[in-house]
Structure 1
Amino acid sequence: MRVLVVGGSGFLGRAVCSRAVGAGSSVVGTFHSGDIAVPGVDARRLDVTDRAAVRALVAQVRPDAVVGTPYRYGDWAVTADGAANVAVAAAETGARLVHVSSDALHAGRPTPYTDDDPPTPVHAYGAAKAAAETAVRAIDPGAAMVRTSLILGEGSKQIQLCRDALAGRAVLFSDELRCPVDVTDLADAVLELVVSSYAGLLNVAGPDAVSRAELGLLVAERDGLDAAGLKTATSAATGVVRPLDVRLDSSRAAGLLRTRLRGVRELLAH
């Protein structure tokens, strides 16, 4: 199988590239400014906001499947328009498309979100992710769209944020709940969807709901760091508008996929 990973230099993109190469696939990965640095990957530079360039690359590569992982926080053109450009190019070549979305398109509520709950964004990034989903569904109804949560693993921004908060350089919100997922678990789930016929939305996140502050404490315990200096706050107290209680119900994915989505406490156990 020939797989094109758009956004292959990102944290998740590199994991998808690595796992796909390990499974014997021929992998082309795109980058804009970063480095993919995965042996066996044919790395190509691509600006996803340039529709003509995206179409030309996909037409040249002729992949069996396209995995769309690109985003840039605060950049509508990359997150929303880029996803639409990738969907158009994949549809033109008949490639299977798996689009990676985010729980950031939900506002938060006391009950978990199911796979098909509509977006309720409260900030620009969530709105861009919601727009990307709308475009992908309109262009390719057969595409799989993965809604995921905080992505963990060595080198992840989430782990570094926790370490920064433990050192007093950042703040973790105690009223912002998520369902973190391991990057390799998520990559394996995405690649399972590549070879499936599943169409539509699918929550793919860990089974444990924790606040960002709790995540910081778990990182401290695992790494043997002093948790006394952990800086925490509430969104309400700071006046920051962010999605709060966003728990994803991933029971559909658990029944559909062979990949076991491990909980954060298992991931960060000693």
Structure 2
Amino acid sequence: MIGGSGFLGREVVRQAAAAGHHVTATAHSKPGGRRLDIRDRAAVARLVGEIEPEVIVNAAYQQADWVTTAEGAMHVAAAAALARARLVHVSSDAIFSGAAGSYDETAVPDPITPYGAAKAAAEVAVRGSVPEAAIVRTSLIVGKGGSPTETFVRELATGTRSGALFTDDIRCPVHVGDLAAAILELTAEPGVHHVAGSDATSRHELGVLIARRAGLDGKALPTALRAASGLPGAVAVRLDCRATRSRLTTRLRGAREFLAT
């Protein structure tokens, strides 16, 4: 598990271990696994050669670092190809501009941010090295209280942090447990997969749901418009997951369900 110390990585490791798999997790700056810098191609190759994994799941990224997100994914893919390991690469809805109403698995990436461009480049590198890899595109990951989104909402609601939640920024939030289970199901399913929640919600509506579950006042959350903020990024990206859902036994719940009090 590359990126095993992250919010998603920890859940993938937990579920895989619970299912009886032997799991090696890596981490870069956080505790929780074997130290690995995926920017170092030789280090990645050495570790994969030592472990000889059957499956590699790569959930590592740094939003502001092209080398980690794009080139690091290339290094992992090259090592997976050499070891003949199955590869699951976790990608993002950030590869889309939001110009379309929704995006299915056949949609061509059209990123408008450096992070989105890095994730799109990573997909190309992965497919080039491991054509049979599973590429899992997802959206905002929440669900157990420890995600950056949930932490931000709690701090906003309690007045310990300034900021606002956009009412026009639409995504399809997914529960981390659902996403991890789907990733483990898709280890033997090559191709592009969209794994996101069934509800399209604004960041503000998502924040209200998170605050209510935590017993906080959702009305205290400040609002704003992304379109008026000047910040880069798509306004609305809806992932169409119907094709992937038809192949999964894991049910991808919507935020209105998994965040219900």
Question: Contact 1:176–1:244 at 8 Å: present in 2 too?
Answer: yes
Match of 2:24 in 1: 28
Task: State the alpha-carbon separation in 2 of the partners of residues 228 and 13 from structure 1.
Answer: 32
Q: State the Cα RMSD in Å.
A: 1.1
Task: State the alpha-carbon separation in 1 of the partners of residues 237 and 157 from structure 2.
Answer: 23
Displacement over 6 Å in runs of 4+: none
Letter in 1 for 2:236: D
Match of 1:212 in 2: 203
Letter in 2 for 1:260: R
Q: Which runs of 5+ in 1 are unaligned?
A: 37-42
1:82 corresponds to which of 72, 79, 87: 72
Question: Contact 2:74–2:122 at 8 Å: present in 1 too?
Answer: yes
Instruction: Quote the offset at 1:170 in angstroms.
Output: 2.2
Equivalenced residues, count: 258
1:122 corresponds to which of 112, 125, 139: 112
Instruction: Quote the offset at 1:110 in angstroms.
Output: 5.0
2:177 corresponds to which of 170, 173, 184: 184
SS at match of 1:130: helix
Task: State the alpha-carbon separation in 2 of the partners of residues 217 and 12 from structure 1.
Answer: 22
Instruction: Quote the offset at 1:75 in angstroms.
Output: 0.6
Question: Contact 1:165–1:172 at 8 Å: present in 2 too?
Answer: no
Question: Contact 1:164–1:170 at 8 Å: present in 2 too?
Answer: no
Q: Which runs of 5+ in 2 are unaligned?
A: none
2:168 corresponds to which of 172, 175, 185: 175
Identical amino acids, percent of aligned pairs: 52
SS at match of 2:155: helix
SS at match of 1:28: coil
Task: State the alpha-carbon separation in 2 of the partners of residues 137 and 165 from structure 1.
Answer: 40
Give the alignment's TM-score, normalised by structure 1.
0.93
Question: Contact 1:179–1:248 at 8 Å: present in 2 too?
Answer: yes
SS at match of 1:27: coil
Written as runs of structure 1 = structure 2, the 5 A alignment for 1:63-74 is 63-74=53-64
Within the alignment, does 1:97 sit opposite 2:87 as a pair?
A: yes
Instruction: Quote the offset at 1:125 in angstroms.
Output: 0.6
Give the alignment's TM-score, normalised by structure 2.
0.96
Task: State the alpha-carbon separation in 2 of the partners of residues 232 and 127 from structure 1.
Answer: 28
Task: State the alpha-carbon separation in 2 of the partners of residues 109 and 207 from structure 1.
Answer: 20
Task: State the alpha-carbon separation in 2 of the partners of residues 228 and 244 from structure 1.
Answer: 22
